[in-house]
Amino acid sequence: MENVEIIKATNYLLLETCFDIRKRVFVDEKGVSPQIERDEYDITGEKDGKPTADFFILKCDGIPCGAVRIFLSDDKTVKVQRFCILGEYRGRGLGERFLQYLEGYYAERGVEEIWLDAKCEASGFYEKGGYKSISDKFFEAGVAHVKMMKRL
């Protein structure tokens, strides 16, 4: 079995690693505009003394291969954003392990619900993990999405 490590990006170098993985998946592979992929939430700033987003990196055998941004909506709700795994690492169960880790991490901190906007093509992945579709299809950055939610 592969050695998997998930770390919170707490410094500039780790944040840049997250952004690099996201660029490789969303911009280079999926064709998303770089101006859309990076936005105002890609900071670890604070609002009212609380962080606005957390960033995590997934490593497999020491190599960074996945990234995610978690928008901190409030004390009980978070939103998964920019969840991605490099193409050569997909199909190995790493995405499921990454998502399960995040659910545990936030459940331990009192979060009760996780939300996300899933690409329609990826909604089955989230459904297997217990997420429920709660919206009709909508388009974001020209791609069909659906809102999904899971109670922890």
User: pLDDT (tens digit, 9 = 90+) per residue, 59-111?
Assistant: 999 999 999 999 988 889 999 999 999 999 999 999 999 999 999 999 999 99
Q: How many CB atoms lie within 10 A of CB 11?
A: 9
Q: Token pair of 13, please?
A: 């170098």
DSSP the chain: ---EEEEE--SHHHHHHHHHHHIIIIIIIT---HHHHS-TTSS--EETTEESEEEEEEEETTEEEEEEEEEEEETTEEEEEEEEE-GGGTTSSHHHHHHHHHHHHHHTTT--EEEEEEEGGGHHHHHHTT-EE-S--EEETTEEEEEEEEE-
Distance CA 133, CA 143 (A): 16
The answer as to CATH 3.40.630.30 being correct for domain 4-111 is yes
Q: Provide the pLDDT confidence category of residue 1 given band limits of 50, 70 and 90.
A: low
Per-residue model confidence (pLDDT) at position 150 = 98
pLDDT tens digits along 14-45: 999 999 999 999 999 988 888 888 887 787 66
Task: Confirm if 79 and 71 have CB atoms less than 8 A apart.
Answer: yes
